[in-house]
Each structure stands twice: as structure tokens, then as C-alpha cells.
Structure 1
Amino acid sequence: MVLSERIRSFISVDIEDPLILDRIERIKETIVATNADLKPVEKENIHLTLRFLGEIPVALIDEVYRVMLSVKMEPFEIEIKGVGAFPRITSPRVVWVGVTKGSDKLREIHRQLEAGLRKLGIKPDSKGFEPHITIARVRSARNKQRLVKVLYELEDVEIGKIVVTNIRLKQSILTFKGPIYKTLREVKLG
């Protein structure tokens, strides 16, 4: 890599528990069955984004890693529950599964990351942070009403619990088949 090169990147909690991934897959199958115009997230790409960084210089990777190392948080449990959509269920653009228990700790990690990233000159996250795991993107309004109905039916679905033990800096390589995520750095909590 050339030092002036830029990479598309984000900091995440990867979802790796096979049982949780299988449950998310079943939810994706249910929403895909609506025949809505969706782009589901591939199973191997399922994650919870703590902070999307966008295009950053390769030279900043180690600085971002140092910010990640400065996060003060012990491992903790999160509960993954419920299906929703941004901006809202009735106008879905992004379909997600939510986080109930542990969302306060994810917000605290996000807050600590924001403080450190700001010192590196990375602009603050303008959208705010709502812990979620994106499972599909809606491409058009095709069969929207059917999709909305199913989203309401899945609003309280219980998916399971996982223990968050690490956070990762990931590179997102965009290809015509979809993004490929590559772990650049990993920090264990605690």
C-alpha cells in the first residue's frame, strides 16, 4: 500500500456466533420471501458498526488503532432482539435487527471512539449512533406494503445474546458482487 492511499473503513463488533447468524439468516429469508426489492447483507458480513470512518488515509490506520486501544470497557453481553428499519418501518431503506440489553455500553464505546477520532481530525458522526445490525437494504418500493407488514410481525422477535469481547477496524472493499470486509486491527476489551 502506498502511504497516500485511502481505504474505506469502519470499526465494528463482528457477529460470529453460529446460532445467532442462523437466526438472522432465517429472518432474512422471511423478509426476502416478501419479494420486496432487497439487497440482503451476506452472512459473513453481518456486524454491528460502531463507527463508519469512510475513506481514511492508510497512514491513519495505526492512529485509529491507538484510539481503539484507549477504549475502557470490560467484555459485556448484548441481547439481539427485534427487527426494524431506518428511517422508519413504514418507509424502510435499511432493515436491521436491534440491540436491547447492552446498548448503553455500545453507546459508551461509540462515545469514547468519537472523542479519540475527533483528535485525529476525523469529522464527528453526524447521524448519531443507534446500535443495530443491518441485514438488508431496500432498493425500491416494490412490494413495500408486504415488506412493512412482515417487519411489524418481526418487531419483537428474540434472536439471542452474545458477549462482546473485542472491536475491530475493518476495511470495506467494494466489488460488483458486494463488499468484502477485511480485518485490519483487533482490540480485546478489558
Structure 2
Amino acid sequence: MHRLFAAIPPPDPVLDALIDTTDGIDGARWQGEDQLHLTLRFIGEVERPLANELAEALAEVQAPSFNLQVAGTGHFERKGRPHSVWARVLPSAGLDLLHGRVERACQAIGLPRETRKFVPHVTLARLSGGAGLIAPWLADTGTLQVPEWRVEGFTLYESHLGKAGALYQPVVDYPLGESDTAAVPVSRTGR
């Protein structure tokens, strides 16, 4: 089985700015630089034949490159308790278009439609019941503003779960822009 998701990896200057926010909540499991991304579609566990079909379907996704910007922070709750904190990604017509086309590619190969609302963000930390208060961190990081960047592509990742957390391995990079571009398998050595 392959645990997959499609995402946009931020460039190094954006990663550096995001890493600078990863402190200030006791007991938080902060994401490492290689774990920071904007998820377009979580696919979940699939067998190899479907994983190969997905890789091929995503290679057919055509969308123009576009600009994105991170500004501000927030959190998600489950049963009234915060379970993650994140950096907000500002609304973008280009992102909405890409997200829709990735979703359609997933449905075209038989994956069920994603029912959760798409909330563009970069997860910064996961929180357990023992994590400290998040309000001071949200107040300190609420004005976070990272320079805009140009999104030139997206990546299919495989997630390997372990005791130390998840390891995200890039599998295929998909360029945006010109229609004659081709998907590029990523070397197993990472980025």
C-alpha cells in the first residue's frame, strides 16, 4: 500500500520564514522543514496499480503557474480541542483552479470525492491533549506575512508513518504552465 497526497512545496525563503514560527507552544509536535507543504488533495492508502494510475492522471493536469502568499496563522479543532496550528495561505484563483483539476483527476480514476472543505494552509504543528495554550502563539504569529512566491508545479508525495512521525517522500513533480511539459520522477534521495 502507498499512502499518498498531492501538495505544493514552498520554496526555501518561505520555508525559512515558516520555520521561524515553530516555537512557543509547549508539547507541540512541530513540523520539520521537509514536512511543510500545502496539501492539494490527501489520497490515502492505495494499492500500487491505483497509485500508478493516479501518477498518470496527475500528469494530465494542466494549469497555469500562479502566485501564492502566506499571511497569518490559525488552528483546527476536533471536539472543541485544538489539534493543529497552521499558516494561512491567502485566496488565489490559480490555486482554486489547480485544486479543482487535481480533484477531478482523482475522481477520474475512481477515488471518492473529497468531502472536506478546501482550506489552503501549511500545517506547522500537531497538538496532543497535553499541548500548552495556543492563544499566545496565535497572537504572536497572527500578523505573519511571507513574501509572495510563484508556484511553478506541484508534487505527489508518499507518506511513511513511523514512531518519530511522518516522513514525506516526493515521488513525482508536475510542472505547471506550458502544456508540453512532462512529469518528472523525483530521485529517491529527496530534495
TM-score range for the pair, normalised by the shorter chain length = 0.7 to 0.9
Question: Which residue identity does 2:154 align to in structure 1?
Answer: I
Question: Which one of the candidate residues 1, 6, 9 is aligned to 2:4?
Answer: 9
Partner of 2:182: none
User: Does residue 95 of structure 2 align to residue 140 of structure 1?
Assistant: no
The change in CA–CA distance for 1:118 and 1:152 in structure 2 (over 3 A counts) is same
Aligned-residue RMSD, C-alpha: 1.8
Aligned pairs for 1:51-130 (under 5 A) are 51-87=41-77, 91-102=81-92, 104-130=93-119
More strand by share: 1
User: Does residue 16 of structure 2 align to residue 26 of structure 1?
Assistant: no
Q: TM-score normalized by structure 2?
A: 0.84
User: Does residue 166 of structure 2 align to residue 179 of structure 1?
Assistant: yes
2:61–2:105: 8 Å Cα contact kept in structure 1? Answer: no
Aligned pairs for 1:40-59 (under 5 A) are 40-59=30-49
Distance apart, 1:101 and its partner CA: 4.9
SS at match of 2:14: helix
SS at match of 2:61: coil
Count of aligned positions: 176
Q: TM-score normalized by structure 1?
A: 0.85
1:107–1:131: 8 Å Cα contact kept in structure 2? Answer: no
Question: Which residue identity does 1:112 align to in structure 2?
Answer: R
More helix by share: 1
Distance apart, 1:91 and its partner CA: 4.3
Q: Distance in 2 between matches of 1:140 and 1:76?
A: 38
Q: Distance in 2 between matches of 1:73 and 1:116?
A: 13
Question: Which residue identity does 2:167 align to in structure 1?
Answer: I
Unmatched 5+ stretches in structure 1: 1-5
Unmatched 5+ stretches in structure 2: 178-191
* 92-101 or 163-172: bigger deviation: 92-101
Question: Which residue identity does 1:97 align to in structure 2?
Answer: A
Distance apart, 1:141 and its partner CA: 4.9
SS at match of 2:107: helix
Q: Distance in 2 between matches of 1:100 and 1:53?
A: 23
Partner of 1:3: none
SS at match of 1:151: helix
Percent of paired sites with the same residue:
24
Question: Which residue identity does 1:160 align to in structure 2?
Answer: P
Q: Distance in 2 between matches of 1:51 and 1:94?
A: 18
Partner of 2:184: none
2:2–2:48: 8 Å Cα contact kept in structure 1? Answer: yes
Q: Distance in 1 between matches of 2:73 and 2:46?
A: 31
